[in-house]
Every structure is written in structure tokens, then in C-alpha cells.
Amino acid sequence: MKAFVAAAAALAMLAPSAGRARVAAGPQAVASSGALGANYNEHFEDVDYRDLEKAQTHWVRIFLPMPQIDRDGAAGHGAVQTILDAHKHGYHTLFTLKWPYNRSAFPKAGSKEMKRELARLDEVLPLVVGKVDILEIGNEPFIESLKEDRGADLNAFYETMARHVIQWRKAHCPTACATHLYMGSLTRLEFPKDQTATTERWMTFVKNTPEIDGVDIHPHVSDIAQSKAYLDYVLPRMRADQKFISTEFSLIWWWKQQMKKPVAPAFARMYHLPSGTLNWQVIADALANPFGKSEWDDFLALSPWFETRRHYLVNQMKLFRDTGRLEVATYGFKQGSSMSADFGPDKDPWLINSVFAARSVHANPDGSAAYGYGWIQDFRALQR
């Protein structure tokens, strides 16, 4: 069984609504509102304009772990250089500032550590404000923090960062600034226990701060129906003029539930696999010795757990767009090094999401990455 092309007629109804656009030096200029772009997370090294052109997308998203600029300086960091290069190539750009505090407490106001964080901001902001389309303040605060710190200290830290960004933009990019500001992502909202006083204050800050254009959501879920909890939570808590972005979203926990299950019998027969071979073992083999594209396609196409959800991207984007409040969403674009390292039965299989299978499939003759199975046709159709 091979990949089949999604019906274009069904997808034509899902075109994004009109919104602001800018003249692009590289790809054709497109309306930003409701757009679907490419998310690279921290893997700036994976940006290849050939991939972006093949997917017909116009948005690039990268995040910067802020402590890393202490090593090379902000101007020398690959994430900064790459997002600015994408801007020069005419792409719309979304740049996320990430503060990893999952091993230490948030710094207190006036402390040496807080001054260090503000100094890092002062290195980055002159480079990106006025150039990137969206600057996001915080990546996944409720994951990138200690559990005991996910209260008032979390709010206080991120509000301090946001106010500093707002003041800097006001002073240095005061009128018609090209860079819009969004607060970082809310996660795990499908679980009522994670809708807390802290998330409530997060949304109150978003709503009451006129310089903030909206909030990010990351619905990494096991069932698409769970993503509705994110929309139900954030939309009533924002101003009418605010929108949401979704820089990450996926069925990661559904994929993970399948990893320790036996591979599809039809695939096992086709490729003469030993009895009892598990899905994660097939992926590990593909990472150790990349498959030909047809073999990777067969693995996923013959697996009901994937094939029945092959149009997840279309369905999720429809839920987002139907709100009329989506500014831009970016989807996991390319298998990166962190996804493939030490792959085993308990590894989160993020690489199944990827539009381009750079790690599990042989590269094309020109060295560019091969398409993954199931995503590229829908990804392209969603650009229209």
C-alpha cells in the first residue's frame, strides 16, 4: 500500500482568511492570518530553503534558549543568524525566547541572576525587533520550570521579561513596528488540573496588556478532540482584537501509545520481519540505517494507527481556522537530531510528525531531505 494524494476539493474549503501581508523577496507574499508554517524548534541548522519551497510555506519559526547566548553572544548564535537570514529571504518569521528553568528557581527581582536575564534580552532585542514578524516571550513556561515554582514566581518572572521587551520596543521601534508580541505557550490544558490560578493570571496579563497581540498554545495531545480545551480556555480570556498562535501541535501521545505494540502484520510480511517486532524497533532501525522512501512510506501507510490519522493536519487546522482568531500555526517540519538520538521504547516519537524525514529516510540525490509519509500533500494544500 502506497501513499495516496489527499482530495484537493475537500481541502480547498480550508484556505486562510485574508490578513496583513508584506512584499517577499523570496516566496510570494501571502496573508499571514490563519497561515501554516514550518517549526524547527531549536534546530536552526535544519533550515533548508529547498524544503520550504517544496512545501510552499512562507513562515519559519525557531526558538532561542536564552542562556546559550552567553557562549557566542546573541549576534553569533545560529538561531539569531538563521531567523534573520530567513527574513532576508522574504519569509515571515516567528522567533521564540526560551527560558529553561526546570533545574533552578526563577530569579528574584533585583538579583544578580535577574540582571543577567535582562542583559541577555538587551543583547537579543536590537537584532530582531523590527525584523521578525512575531517575537514570542517564553516557550513552554509550565514545562520549562520546576513544579514547585509554577505559581506566582512563574508569573512574576515572565511578566518582568514581557515588560522589558515592551519598553525596549517602545523606545527603539515606536511607530508601526513590524514586530508583534505574543506571550508564550500554554500546555496541557486538556487536563483540568493544569488550568490553575497561574494560567488564569497568565491570561489576565495577556488581556490587560495592550502591547500584547495574543497567546501561544501547544496542543500536543493523544486525540484531536482534546485540542478544543485549549481554544475554549484562551479565546474567552483575550480581548476581541487579540489572536492566538500555535507554534507547536501534534498527536505525539497517540504515536507514543503505539510504540511498544507489534508492527502491522502486512508490513512484517512484506519486509520479512521477525515475529514480535515492535513499532519502535522499526523506527530505531530506520534511524540507524535510513530506509528507502518506499519502505518508510509502507511502514506508516500499513499501520492503522497512523493511516487513520493521516489527515490530522487538515482537521486540526480547520479547528484553528474556524475560530477566526488564528494568526499563524507552525508544524514540526523536519526530523532533527534531538528526535533521533538514543531512540528506544520510551523515547517520545516526535519524528513521526515531521513533514520531511531527514533522519529515517535516505536523502535525495541532491542531498535534500525526502518527504515523510502522509503530510506533504495536506501541508501544501493548506497553503492555498
In tens, the pLDDT along 233-282 reads 999 999 999 999 999 999 999 999 999 999 999 999 999 999 999 999 99
Cell of 82: 538563521
Contacts of 157 (CB under 8 A, 6+ apart): 99, 101, 106, 107
Question: From CA 229, how far away is CA 212, in angstroms rounded?
Answer: 22
Per-residue pLDDT reduced to its tens digit, 86-102: 999 999 999 999 999 99
What stretches of 173-212 show up as alpha helix (H) in DSSP?
197-208
> How many whole angstroms separate alpha carbon 106 and alpha carbon 146?
9
What percentage of the chain exceeds 70 in pLDDT? Answer: 92
Mean pLDDT to the nearest integer, 17-34 = 44
Model confidence band, residue 33 (pLDDT cutoffs 50, 70, 90):
confident
- Torsion over CA: 175, 180, 181, 182 (sign): positive
**Structure-block grid coordinates of residue 365:** 540525490
Q: Write down the mean pLDDT value for the chain.
A: 92
Residues 165-170 have a mean pLDDT of 98
Under DSSP, the state recorded for 226 is G
Question: 20 pLDDT exceeds 60?
Answer: no
What domains appear along the chain, each with residue ranges and CATH number? 33-251+311-334+375-384 (3.20.20.80), 255-308+339-368 (no CATH)
For residue range 192-244, list pLDDT tens digits in order. Answer: 999 999 999 999 999 999 999 999 999 999 999 999 999 999 999 999 999 99
| DSSP assignment string, 276-337 | T-BHHHHHHHHHHSPBPHHHHHHHHHT-HHHHTTTTHHHHHHHHHHHTT-EEEEEEE-B--H
Distances (CA, A) of 256 to 43, 220, 295, 346: 22, 12, 21, 8
Under the banding of pLDDT at 50, 70 and 90, the label for residue 336 is very high
Please report the pLDDT score of residue 180 as a whole number: 97
Q: Is the pLDDT of residue 15 over 60?
A: no
pLDDT above 60: residue 337: yes
Q: Is the pLDDT of residue 31 over 70?
A: no
Provide Rg for the chain, Cα atoms.
21
Q: Give Cα separations from 212 to 48, 181, 237, 296 (angstroms).
A: 31, 5, 13, 43
pLDDT tens-digit readout, 51-64: 999 999 999 999 99
For residues 66 and 120, the answer to whether their CB atoms sit within 8 Å is yes
Q: Are strands 35-39 and 59-65 parallel, antiparallel or unpaired?
A: parallel
Cell readout for 64 is 532561542
Q: Helix or strand or coil: residue 49?
A: helix
* pLDDT at residue 384 tops 90: no
- The yes-or-no verdict on residue 314 having pLDDT over 60 is yes
Tell me what the mean pLDDT of segment 362-367 comes to.
97
Q: How far apart, in Å, are the Cα atoms of 18 and each of 33, 93, 213?
A: 6, 18, 18
pLDDT band at 363 (very low <50, low <70, confident <90, very high): very high
Going by C-alpha positions, the residue among 369, 327, 334, 354 that lies closest to residue 94 is: 327
DSSP element (H, E) containing 91? none
